[in-house]
Structure 1
């Protein structure tokens, strides 16, 4: 039963009591959910709300220790459904001594309220290492050096940072789309052995009045509790655009204000919380937010050497007959390509041998019993198609030819860079005014 449009009224929170039952958290959660749903369907929202709250608490306890990733994913989905329903009910209830919003403050039990306030951000925590090494990031030596100074050196060589020497605590990574900003952030988390919070604007924006800034506050508190930690905010411009713009509302102003406060505190007091943010449109960023980033690093399009390395990395151990000179030539031909452009190009190339095999009219049977597509004039060529070979029971014996330079030539003839010259000029101008080269 739907209680109708939720009110935005703030209400007093209920008392919370410690969990002492010997029954497993998951069993308790299921029991409380059944009670909550029964009361909810009967329209007894004042009784349904506390049951939802207790169920969420038990679910959260279970998720902390659950090992099976599929079960955790399923439980998390149900958890979010019940959390959303509890928020709807709490917003509907009035001030007559009834329970208030789950994340509306610390209430009479600070630890309980803090726990419930942060649960919506649990999915943003990357609990396993991203497993991206520095060497996996092609180029960007200046950016990697600055991040090493901020993250790696303070941990391994704390004596380096005494007196007025303090590491950088907030980095803005900006540049054209798909140049490796997010990838670089993951490399930092891997090398630093830190808890990694990967945040997008949707994680921090709530339709409930006053909830978005609380999510920002809770995010930084969770980062402090999990220190050393890294908060990575992707597309920060969507959260912190210029003030005074026509589409700015009260909620976005509150988010920016709270983020300014939290970032200032992180820079002064939280020596083990690093803030990384990425944007493709640095000029759209609010000036006050921009100044909170003590390092603003331009992540440019890959240079010649980086492009050459990217072709090798994306090709991996796929059979090919390319030489070092071929890779150098490919790098020269792809000036202006982003890392994503090169990745897509190689993906297309990987399918070229498959396409050729499908279209082949002649095959040769090699000494090891494999059937390889060939030309009609090659000695030993047999006129037969891939489908005919499969019908004869040789499907597992058909092997495409290795990738060749001509495969790349064919794909590059129709593949163009996605970053325009005007985009490139915008970022160069911003770097000259506010940033530094990566």
Structure 2
């Protein structure tokens, strides 16, 4: 598909420069902002299609086509984008100074009091966001799709819901919109959290990983503020993904015996996920639970897409055995893997991981009874084996 965003951005920024030179700063700022959005989408599409370069800021763009793999083209565009962004920030500052109301001498004390209140609010917000800083996954977990054995249907659904909108936003127009909430549910140990790590690795987005300990506070009224600040941070850093593990511990069904703080947390989640006045473009909420029937019905409705993560089948169990065994020296054949996979029916991925680790430790247990070691001569190298005294 031809990338039309770069040429459109060049046309818009040309109009912005004309308005800027005519000192029509309000219209110039609007056009600069619109052009930057087109530039960002065009660059994110990895220069698919024709990419056009342009020369000086005041010149009309030359529509000369360049190679998409040529790094010079991308460097030129990004350098010009930085210049346009700097100019847009300058215009924003000028416009804010023009529209800001001038202080009145009679209300100087009131303004001072308001400023102190604002400072206190900013300090409180900074404290809340500081406690949520650990939820931001700054380093990729390094879990690829291929590292997740089986679950082909779940992986395809996640690619459709997460990866495709991030890489090709131009495809989602009109009524075709990406999912805003995805719920992963299934038996424990089937790889729901592991799939979330794969999403964090593959998706080009800010990833927030939170649990009940990140959002529940002992102070009255602070928990719902943490929830609100979490979503505000996600909207500021969009595209963003909020992963909530064991979401049933936070948003279980409402009952008469629950505390007011628990109810307020649920209400804040409901408002932030689908409330009036909240924009959700670019923010995806990814939840995981073993007991979806215990979720509050209103919260369950917020998750538009629900993906079942089943127990692994025989082929998936066979692949898991090889993945967990890794490069550890062994003499297992393909038929051995098949036989073990057949005998582990009903086991989850976590169960198979524990089984392999226990099997790897079995040869080492002989060392506890060994009195001495004897060399064993081989054709290529020499190794030692333990000898026990009975």
TM-score by length of 2: 0.65
How far apart are the structure 2 equivalents of 1:126 and 1:268?
A: 24
| 1:156 is aligned to 2:156 | no
Q: Provide, for residues 300-337 of structure 1, a one-character-per-residue CA deviation record: whole Å limited to 9, x for no partner.
A: 11111111111101000000000111111111110110
Equivalent residue pairs, number: 270
| 1:228 is aligned to 2:239 | yes
Superposed displacement of residue 226, structure 1: 1.8
How far apart are the structure 2 equivalents of 1:340 and 1:312?
A: 14
Please name the residue that 1:311 is paired with: 321
Please name the residue that 1:300 is paired with: 310
Please name the residue that 1:398 is paired with: none
Please name the residue that 2:151 is paired with: 140
Please name the residue that 1:170 is paired with: 181
Matches within 5 A, 1:88-127: 107-109=117-119, 111-127=122-138
Superposed displacement of residue 266, structure 1: 11
Please list every run of at least 4 consecutive aligned residues from structure 1 whose deviation after the TM superposition is greater than 6 angstroms: none
| 1:325 is aligned to 2:350 | no
Q: 2:191 aligns with which of 159, 163, 180?
A: 180
How far apart are the structure 1 equivalents of 2:382 and 2:357?
A: 29
More off after superposition, 190-199 vs 336-345: 190-199
Contact 1:264 1:292 in 2 (8 A): yes
Please name the residue that 2:36 is paired with: none
Q: Provide, for residues 182-217 of structure 1, a one-character-per-residue CA deviation record: whole Å limited to 9, x for no partner.
A: 110111111002221111111111121111110000
Please name the residue that 1:257 is paired with: 267
Decide whether aligned partners of structure 1 residues 268 and 148 sit closer, same or farther in structure 2, where only a CA change above 3 A counts: farther
Please name the residue that 2:362 is paired with: 352
Superposed displacement of residue 237, structure 1: 0.8
How far apart are the structure 1 equivalents of 2:305 and 2:186?
A: 14
Superposed displacement of residue 147, structure 1: 1.2
How far apart are the structure 2 equivalents of 1:365 and 1:233?
A: 53
Q: 1:194 aligns with which of 187, 200, 205?
A: 205
Contact 1:169 1:266 in 2 (8 A): no
Unaligned runs of 5+ in 2: 1-115
TM-score by length of 1: 0.58
Q: 2:220 aligns with which of 209, 212, 224?
A: 209
Contact 2:210 2:242 in 1 (8 A): yes
Please name the residue that 2:383 is paired with: 370
Q: SS where residue 132 of structure 2 aligns?
A: helix
Contact 1:266 1:274 in 2 (8 A): no
Q: Provide, for residues 106-153 of structure 1, a one-character-per-residue CA deviation record: whole Å limited to 9, x for no partner.
A: 941455443222111111111111111111111111111111112111
How far apart are the structure 1 equivalents of 2:333 and 2:276?
A: 49
Over the aligned positions, Cα root-mean-square deviation in angstroms equals 2.2
Contact 1:107 1:113 in 2 (8 A): no
Q: Provide, for residues 332-384 of structure 1, a one-character-per-residue CA deviation record: whole Å limited to 9, x for no partner.
A: 110110111111111100111112344468845214342235xxxxxxxxxx5
How far apart are the structure 2 equivalents of 1:193 and 1:107?
A: 38
How far apart are the structure 2 equivalents of 1:318 and 1:267?
A: 55
Contact 1:170 1:267 in 2 (8 A): no
Decide whether aligned partners of structure 1 residues 149 and 351 sit closer, same or farther in structure 2, where only a CA change above 3 A counts: same
How far apart are the structure 2 equivalents of 1:107 and 1:276?
A: 36
Contact 1:169 1:274 in 2 (8 A): yes
Q: SS where residue 319 of structure 1 aligns?
A: coil
Matches within 5 A, 1:60-99: none
